[in-house]
Amino acid sequence: MAYVDQNQSKEKTIAGVITAIILAAVGYAFVTGLAFNVIKKAAVQLNVIDIKTPPPPPPKKPPPPPKETPKVESPPIVTPPPIVTPPPVQSPMVTTPIPQPPRPPVVAPIAPNPPPPVPAKPSQASGVKAKGNPGDWVTPDDYPPSALRNNEAGVLGFKLDVDASGHATNCTVTSSSGFPDLDQTACRLLPRRARFTPAKDSAGNGMASTYNGSLRWQIPKD
Q: Exposed e or buried b for every residue in 182-197, given b needs 16+ CB within 10 A?
A: bbebbbebbbeebebe
pLDDT beyond 70 at 89: no
Say yes or no to pLDDT of 121 above 50. Answer: no
Can you give the pLDDT at residue 44?
46
pLDDT, tens digit, for every residue of 166-206?
999 999 999 999 999 999 999 999 999 999 999 998 888 98
Read off the pLDDT of each residue in 202-212 and give the average, rounded to a whole number.
Answer: 90
Q: Which of 99-108, 136-145, 161-170, 204-213 has the lowest mean pLDDT?
A: 99-108
Is 170 in a helix, a strand, or coil? strand
Pairwise CA distance, residues 144 & 99, whole Å: 96
- Report how far Cα 199 is from the mean position of its chain's Cα atoms: 70
* Rounded alpha-carbon distances, angstroms, from residue 221 to 137, 142, 210, 214: 19, 14, 34, 21
- Mean pLDDT value of segment 74-78: 66
Smallest Cα–Cα separation from 127: which of 220, 197, 68, 41? Answer: 197
The class (CATH top level) of 129-217 is alpha beta
Please report the sign of the dihedral spanned by the C-alpha atoms of residue 203, residue 204, residue 209, residue 214.
Answer: positive
